[in-house]
Amino acid sequence: MQITSFNPRTGHEVTSASETSSSDLVSTCARAAQAAATLRDTSPAERRGWLNALADVLDKDRANLVAVADDETALGPARLDSELSKTIAQTRFYGDVAAEGSYLSLAVDDATDTTPAMVRMCQPIGTVAVFGASNFPFVLGALGHDTAAAIAAGCPVIAKAHRAHLGLSLRLAELAGSAMNDAGAPDGVFDIVFGHDAGVELVRAPQVAAVAFTGSQSGGLALWTIANERPIPIPVYAEMGTINPVIVTPHGAAAMDEVARGFVATFTSSAGQYCTKPGLLLAPEGSEALDRVLAAFRAAAPSPVMLTASIARSVHTGLAEMQAAGATLIEESTYADIGYGAPAAVLEVSLSDIAPGSRLLEECFGAVAVVCTYRTVEEVCAALRTLQASLVAAIFTGADTSDPDVAAVVDVLEGKVGRVVFNGWTTGAPHGWAQNHGGPWPATSNASGTSIGAAALDRFVRPIAFQSAADQWLPRAAQPGNPWNVTRRVNGILHRATT
Amino acid sequence: MQITSFNPRTGHEVTSASETSSSDLVSTCARAAQAAATLRDTSPAERRGWLNALADVLDKDRANLVAVADDETALGPARLDSELSKTIAQTRFYGDVAAEGSYLSLAVDDATDTTPAMVRMCQPIGTVAVFGASNFPFVLGALGHDTAAAIAAGCPVIAKAHRAHLGLSLRLAELAGSAMNDAGAPDGVFDIVFGHDAGVELVRAPQVAAVAFTGSQSGGLALWTIANERPIPIPVYAEMGTINPVIVTPHGAAAMDEVARGFVATFTSSAGQYCTKPGLLLAPEGSEALDRVLAAFRAAAPSPVMLTASIARSVHTGLAEMQAAGATLIEESTYADIGYGAPAAVLEVSLSDIAPGSRLLEECFGAVAVVCTYRTVEEVCAALRTLQASLVAAIFTGADTSDPDVAAVVDVLEGKVGRVVFNGWTTGAPHGWAQNHGGPWPATSNASGTSIGAAALDRFVRPIAFQSAADQWLPRAAQPGNPWNVTRRVNGILHRATT
């Protein structure tokens, strides 16, 4: 079977690819398993070399990659060029994180009179299946955060190409294969498969040890269910779309005009296709939040083009569902009547309509957002407690630090999100040692994991202890003299890698 | 409904307790949720104080605790006294681990020209339900590793009392409550419930955020299923019984006599009631492994008394199943005909009977073990690959370090177990920074966790990031000056707590 990607601006075909057959999938998995055995014995520094080589070719092929991606996503060259730059930087970053070695959690307890010598360290979990996002073809795509983090941790990756960017996926796979091979990586360290059925078979494949997914709740939970039905279930790290509330405190409402403009600019940017899109603005009564959002919305005059025909349809469906759930449509933008145009929209709800189970608490993918006013901070905190968990929330506070309402709001948010942004917007999640891009169920299927930031590697390793092992039987990382120069703990004391 | 514990030596009643009613469970969970909110703001050092107070009272009540435990388990005063000592030490250890602060994974990235300031740290996950083991009333019981690790990490615990040690559970709960309260802990930091139904309701309770379990595969997987069926699934850390293979290399067979005696002493100790019991001995042909095991078995003359009537019955069932699956019963010990006596036994299988799905690959709880000989190391490695995963494996090698077969065996074992023991026995898993007591599915339901050792805390926390937060809005641990004096990473560089 052939699958096809389309130009969202015109609806015309861009690229066709064959769905991966079952027999091809089997050999792809076998090749990855062989690579996994090799990777287990490579040092993080070696793998950093592969990732740096990959980053180099991504940079060299920049103009072509951006053009191909723009054809299939309509996200625009400027945004895509910037996204590719981030991808290049993050690819290098995960190599550096691996080389530092904390992800190994290497601990050495010498023998005592009553206890044996013990060495504990993490080993790569095995082949990782990566299901990239539609909305970030580079940063969270086939060669995005999940792939770089998995390879950095010593795991081969089989990516399932998103059907919206087949041409880009083919090009990325071609670049990745040759660049990493040239840098010394074994065959099978990265591969790509095409088609829905191949994706499902991938999650069921005995060689696959973990799944990383970025996308919709329905897609993520479907993979999670399949993975749990395996004879040997495997972890699924699904990062899913959420509503990502924004709370303006009474003090913060002094800057309501600026907040309203930022809100509109953020929720309409890239046609609102962010898993971190701020989908719900909670502002105090009297702040004229709705009027100011409406003014900004009209000034911005968004005209969204969605990534795919089905996403464009889902905007209409989502708008209808939100209205059926009690939201009032305040304004809808015009949009192109060719390709995958869809409206941007502002809706209003009353706080009392926000009840557990309501459609209003779920993401509406696209440039659609809801404005809601509250009377008291107690009231808004109570409402926040009923929200399903989100990846991120923002709070806008007074300019000084005496805002009396921040503590109560943050206290609630801490239990509801993976990241709290102060006086800023939720989109954009730069990689770093301190980033967390995750959150309680159903923001993710595994709240202990993050898909962005140094801790992303932790998802793809498994601890093992060696008791009373002679030095030469220990994994290389754990041998005396610290041959890989990694951070480790000796008799309870942490020693960092020397730089 | 009343439930009752019995004296395994006589079958006589020891203690009766009322099953926890649904309404009592609801209030227990509500009290824990309140404690959880308080605990989130306590420092690890404060919680260490509570755990040290708990350790102190366990030590003070030692004679009584050992007597009560012996009445209900028949494990013997010497073993129980030693187990209690370990429990006291581990309770203090987890407090120290918490105070060191690495479990917080605190990372601070200062703002740059292009990225916002970010702080990431772990917060306690909330109330933890602990299902303790039958076979370790102290070390892995109501106040065992899971409970101490959870409290150290800032999580209240609701333990489900094991029905085999109701009297002990009541006493432990009484001691824990008063000791920790006196030391400043809030009400609800530890509570205990009774009865099967209460256990199931506990896993379903909305306030419960994680489950820790030690016991059988069937029990652990049942809880895992219930937890995954919740509207908001929660992580289950089930540590389950496995076969724990022992491999004697051709070089190692030079000491076959000593290995055989150690094997028998280990698998019959405490009536074989260890999740780390070595259940399968793989020795080279010509090592006279079976003869030597048999001689040691006859010399030891074990007469096991099992923890419960149902465990005693399951020994008989297990023996029958193993024989039906192709094992030959070589010798069965005599046993007491009052109380919960059951046979110890040695069985033999041929390597060709070890095939995926066979009953021979699963634990037979009790003083029952299987001996198997192999011709080549390749052959035994192939067999090991078909085993289901175990908590631990042992390898007996030659006395010098030139044994040529170790690398191949360890290579296979690394993918199959959570701990590899060299020239020693699998039972006993001392706490420490480098311990790992876990393993791939179905040894545990979550291979990234350990129920023993410093990393045990990691199961009970969840990361969250704070972006562009003014200092005073950060959690106390993350505030400038490092007020809790914890290990943290600043701009990528790890700084350990000062001692």
Quick one: three-class SS letters along chain A?
CEEEEECCCCCCEEEEEECCCHHHHHHHHHHHHHHHHHHCCCCHHHHHHHHHHHHHHHHHCHHHHHHHHHHHHCCCHHHHHHHHHHHHHHHHHHHHHHHHCHHHCEEEECCCCCCCCEEEEEEECCEEEEECCCCCCCCCCCCCHHHHHHHHCCCCEEEECCHHHHHHHHHHHHHHHHHHHHCCCCCCCEEEECCHHHHHHHHHCCCEEEEEEEECHHHHHHHHHHHHHCCCCCCEEEEECCCCEEEECCCHHHHHHHHHHHHHHHHHHHHHCCCCCCCEEEEECCCCHHHHHHHHHHHHCCCCECCCHHHHHHHHHHHHHHHHCCCEEEEECCCCCCCCECCCEEEEEEHHHCCCCCHHHCCCCCCEEEEEEECCHHHHHHHHHHCCCEEEEEEECCCCCCCCCHHHHHHHHHCCEEEEEECCCCCCCCCCCCCCCCCCCCCECCCCCCCCCHHHHHHHEEEEEEECCCHHHCCHHHCCCCCCCCCEEECCEEECCCC
Mutation for B interface: A92, A93, A242, A462, most B CBs within 10 A: A462
In chain B, the percentage of residues whose pLDDT exceeds 70 is 100
Q: Which helix (H) or strand (E) holds B148?
A: helix B145-152
Catalytic-role residue among B29, B122, B155, B275: B275
pLDDT at position B242, please? Answer: 93
**B2-241+447-461 against B245-422: fold identical:** no
Q: Quick one: pLDDT at residue B443?
A: 97
Residue A498: pLDDT band with limits 50, 70, 90: confident
Please compute the mean of the pLDDT values over residues A161-173 and round it to a whole number. 97
Which of these is catalytic: A29, A275, A364, A372? A275
CA distance B140 to B136: 5
Q: Is the per-residue pLDDT at A152 higher than 90?
A: yes
CB contact set of A458 (below 8 Å; sequence gap of 6+): A103, A449, B448
The topology (CATH level 3) of A245-422 is Aldehyde Dehydrogenase; Chain A, domain 2 (3.40.309)
Which of A280-289, A399-408, B25-34, B230-239 shows the lowest per-residue confidence on average (mean pLDDT)?
A: A399-408
Q: What is the dihedral of CA A138, A142, A145, A146, to 10 degrees?
A: 160
pLDDT the model gives residue B358: 87
Residue B391 DSSP one-character state: E
User: How confident is the model over B330-367, as pLDDT tens digits?
Assistant: 999 999 888 999 999 999 999 988 888 889 888 999 99
Per-residue pLDDT for B244 more than 90?
A: yes
> Smallest CA–CA separation between B406 and chain A, in Å?
8
Q: For B439-443, what is the mean pLDDT?
A: 97
- Residue B115, min C-alpha distance to chain A (Å): 7
Distance of CA B228 to the CA centre of its chain: 21
For an interface test with A, which of B448, B461, B474, B491 has the most A Cβ atoms less than 10 Å from its Cβ? B448
Q: Is the pLDDT of residue B401 over 90?
A: no
Which chain B residues touch A462 with a CB distance below 8 Å? 440, 447-448
Whether residues A432 and B118 touch (CB distance < 8 A) is answered with: yes
| Between B499 and A314, the higher pLDDT residue | A314
B366 and B335 Cβ atoms separated by less than 8 Å: no
List Cβ neighbours of B258 (8 Å cut-off, separation of 6 or more). none
Which of A107, A455, A494 is nearest residue B434 as measured by Cβ atoms? A107
User: What is the per-residue pLDDT for B444?
Assistant: 97
Active site residue A239: yes
- Residue B76 to residue B9: CA distance in whole angstroms: 11
Mean pLDDT of chain A: 96
pLDDT score at A127: 98
Q: Which residues of A touch B430 (CB under 8 A)?
A: 114-116, 118
Q: What is the DSSP letter of B377?
A: H
Architecture of domain B2-241+447-461: 3-Layer(aba) Sandwich (3.40)
CATH class of A2-241+447-460: alpha beta
Q: CB-CB: which of B421, B441, B470 is closest to A468?
A: B421
DSSP B199-266: HHHHHH-TTEEEEEEEE-HHHHHHHHHHHHHSSS---EEEEE----EEEE-TTGGGGHHHHHHHHHHH
Closest CA to A245 of A372, A348, A159: A372
Q: What is the predicted pLDDT for the residue at B361?
A: 85
- Write the CA distances from B252 to A424, A466, B293, B399, integer angstroms: 64, 18, 15, 7
Rounded-to-integer distance, Cα B30 and Cα B418, Å: 36
Q: Which of A109, A450, A496 sits opposite B433 (nearest CB)?
A: A109
Give phi and psi for A323, each to the nearest 5: -70, -40
What is the domain partition of chain A in residue ranges?
A: 2-241+447-460, 245-422
CB B25 within 8 A of CB B202: yes
Nearest CA in chain A to B356: A231
In the sheet that B328-332 helps form, which strands lie side by side, from edge to edge? A493-495, A488-490, A106-109, A118-124, A461-467, B417-422, B390-396, B245-248, B280-284, B368-374, B345-350, B328-332
Average pLDDT over every residue of A306-329: 96
Task: Check if A72 is active-site.
Answer: no
**Of the partner residues B120, B432, B447, the one whose CB lies closest to the CB of residue A115:** B432
pLDDT value at residue B234: 98
**Confidence (pLDDT) at B213:** 97
- Measure the CA–CA gap between A133 and B458, rounded to whole angstroms: 29
* Model pLDDT, residue B337: 87
For A384-398, B352-366, B395-409, which range has the lowest pLDDT when averaged over its residues? B352-366
Q: What is the pLDDT of residues A26-76, one digit of tens each?
A: 999 999 999 999 999 999 999 999 999 999 999 999 999 999 999 999 999
pLDDT of residue A399: 87
Confidence of residue A354 (pLDDT cuts 50, 70, 90): confident
Q: Which residues of A touch B419 (CB under 8 A)?
A: 464-467
Q: Decide if B42 contacts B186 (C-beta within 8 A).
A: no
Of residues B356 and B234, more confidently modeled: B234
**In the predicted model, what is the mean pLDDT of residues B38-46?**
96
Burial class of residue A12 (count of CB atoms within 10 Å of its CB; 0-12, 13-18, 19+)? exposed
Is residue B455 helix, strand or coil?
helix
Q: Which of A118, A127, A461 is best to mutate for the B interface (most B CBs within 10 A)?
A: A118
**Tell me, what's the pLDDT at A85?**
98
Please choose, from the candidates B191, B149, B96, the residue with its C-alpha nearest in 3D space to the C-alpha of residue B438: B149
Residues of A in contact with B461 (CB under 8 A): 448
pLDDT recorded at residue B212: 98
**Cα radius of gyration rounded to whole Å, chain A:** 24
* Average pLDDT for A399-409: 92
Nearest by CB to A433, from B109, B424, B447: name it: B109
Q: How many other CB atoms are there within 10 angstroms of residue B467's CB atom?
A: 28
DSSP labels for B285-337? TTS-HHHHHHHHHHHH----B-SSHHHHHHHHHHHHHHHHTT-EEEEE----S
Between CA B475 and CA A410 the distance in angstroms is: 10
Residue B363 CA to residue B77 CA, distance in Å, equals 27
pTM of the full structure: 0.97
Query: Looking at CA atoms only, how far is residue B257 from chain A in angstroms?
Result: 21
* pLDDT for residue B399: 87
